[in-house]
Structure formats: C-alpha cells, structure tokens
Amino acid sequence: MERNRYRIIFLGPPGAGKGTQAERLAEDLKVKKISTGDILREAVAKGTELGQRAKSYMERGELVPDEIILGIIEEAINDEEGFILDGFPRNINQAKALDEMLSSKGLNITHVIFLDVPDEEIIKRIAYRRVCLKCGAVYNLIFNPPKEDEICNNCGSKLVQREDDREEVVRKRLEVYRGSTEALIRIYEERGVLRRINGLGDREEVFRRIREAL
Ligand code: AMP
C-alpha cells in the first residue's frame, strides 16, 4: 500500500479550535485523527487503568506523564495511513520521541498547523464549549450549538462541559501551554514545516485558511 503523504500536527493553545479543525481536515484528507485528549477522556469516563492513571493530572490542568502519552501514540500511529495529531506533542521531550518513532520508519512530519488565537478569545470560547464524551464531537453553545439542546448531533448522547474547562483550570492549562508547548513553535518553524494560521473568525473561514496553507 502506498504511504499517505500527510502526517500533520495541530499546535495551539487550549480552545484554539484544534479538535474541530483536525476532525474536519482528517475527513477531507482521509487520514486518521489521533487526539490524546479524546483518548484520555474516554479512558477516564470508562474508568480503565489508563483513565485512573491520567485523571488527577487532567483535573488539575497539568500534563499527563510522557511515558503514558507515548504509549498511547505508539499504539495509535500506523506508518502507512498518514495521520493528524491533535494535542500531541505537548513538550520538547514528546516531540523528540515522536521524531525518533517516525524516523525509525523512514517517515517525518509533513506539516504543523499552528492555530493562533489570543487569550481573551480563548477564555470566551471555552466557557461555552460542550463536548460529547461518546464520539468526541465539540460544540459551542453560541457559535456552533447542537440542533437539540445539550444533545450530540452525531450520536444523541448528552453533552457535557469538560471538567477541565472550568476557569481556574483553563488558566493553569494556558500556563502549561506557555511553559511547555509554545517552545515547539520555534522548533517546527526552523524545520520549515510550520504553517501559522489565524484562528479567529468562523470555522469555515479558518478551515479555508488551513486548506490553503497545505
Ligand atoms: P486536550 O483535550 O488536548 O486539551 O487535553 C486535555 C488534557 O489531557 C490535558 O490538559 C492534559 O492533562 C492531557 N493531555 C492531552 N494530551 C496530552 C499530551 N500530549 N501530554 C500530556 N498530557 C496530555
């Protein structure tokens, strides 16, 4: 089988729209979306061993230890299919581990989509965000409401606010982003794979910008 040519990372602060845009792009490019946050939330909801290990970090808005995350990624990446990574890597150590994992298979990251959104906008978006824990769909009660109040359009499950979308946890997550994740922008920029995308505006507009940048 021919290798898919897209191996993409979505980078950006919490609430930038990574999940929504990654989902859309994955459909468009016919590649798999791997969201470490979704995988972890599902594990927490099901109470699996992974979920039990990750839960307290997530509730505090801290990063889950690298060894747990790298295990998830090793399992999820299939070298022939191409992929979009949403929420990984989150620090330099994870980025290095990803490089090693890929280069041992003769692969590389083809694009890094950096969704740039200012802090004031993030706080606003996150307060109105609701998610479906079953299928991972993301809504915004103002900008992208579900058809039926608090019910997922795709699978009919009840929508919830993420535990870690409470304001004090969001502040912590932003701090972690600044302290650990933001440094990756520079690394991928130097490698020439970074595409800086203005994340403001409606979802269609942002998606069009991403499409043009690829
Ligand atoms: P997200 O949905 O991507 O914002 O992730 C939600 C939470 O899951 C984060 O605040 C972290 O606690 C954890 N998490 C997700 N991805 C990672 C990662 N790559 N490294 C460490 N922790 C992660």
Per-residue model confidence as pLDDT tens digits over 59-86: 999 999 999 999 999 999 877 789 999 9
Q: Is 41 annotated as catalytic?
A: no
Evaluate whether 53 touches 167 at the Cβ level (below 8 Å): no
Q: 124-128: long-range contacts (C-beta < 8 A, 24 or more apart)?
A: 125/15, 125/17, 126/14, 126/15, 126/165, 126/170, 127/165, 127/167
Residues 6+ apart with CB under 8 A from 65: 57
Å from CA of 173 to ligand 1 middle: 9
- Ligand 1 atom with the shortest distance to the CA of 86: 3
Q: How far apart are CA 150 and CA 63, in angstroms?
A: 29
Residues 6+ apart with CB under 8 A from 86: 10, 18, 19, 22, 23, 33, 34, 35, 36, 37, 38
Å from CA of 133 to ligand 1 middle: 15
Domain 3-31+81-119+181-213: give its CATH architecture.
3-Layer(aba) Sandwich (3.40)
Kindly state the percentage of the chain with pLDDT values over 90.
78
Is the pLDDT at 2 greater than 70? The verdict is no
Where do the DSSP E strands lie in the chain?
7-11, 32-35, 83-86, 111-116, 129-131, 138-140, 194-198
**Helices 49-60 and 36-46, packing angle to 10 deg:** 110
Q: Is 18 annotated as catalytic?
A: yes
Q: Is 53 annotated as catalytic?
A: no
Site residues for ligand 1, CB cut-off 6 Å: 14, 36-37, 40, 57-58, 61-64, 69, 87-88, 90, 94, 164, 173
- Ligand 1 atom with the shortest distance to the CA of 40: 8
Is the pLDDT at 210 greater than 90? The verdict is yes
Kindly state the percentage of the chain with pLDDT values over 70.
98
Cis amide leading into 89 (omega within 30):
yes
Q: Which helix or strand (DSSP H or E) is residue 170 part of? A: helix 167-176
pTM of the model: 0.90
Nearest protein CA to atom 5 of ligand 1, as residue:
37
The domains of the chain are located at: 3-31+81-119+181-213
Per-residue model confidence as pLDDT tens digits over 114-164: 999 998 889 888 989 999 988 888 899 988 899 999 999 999 999 999 888
Q: How far apart are CA 203 and CA 21, in angstroms?
A: 8
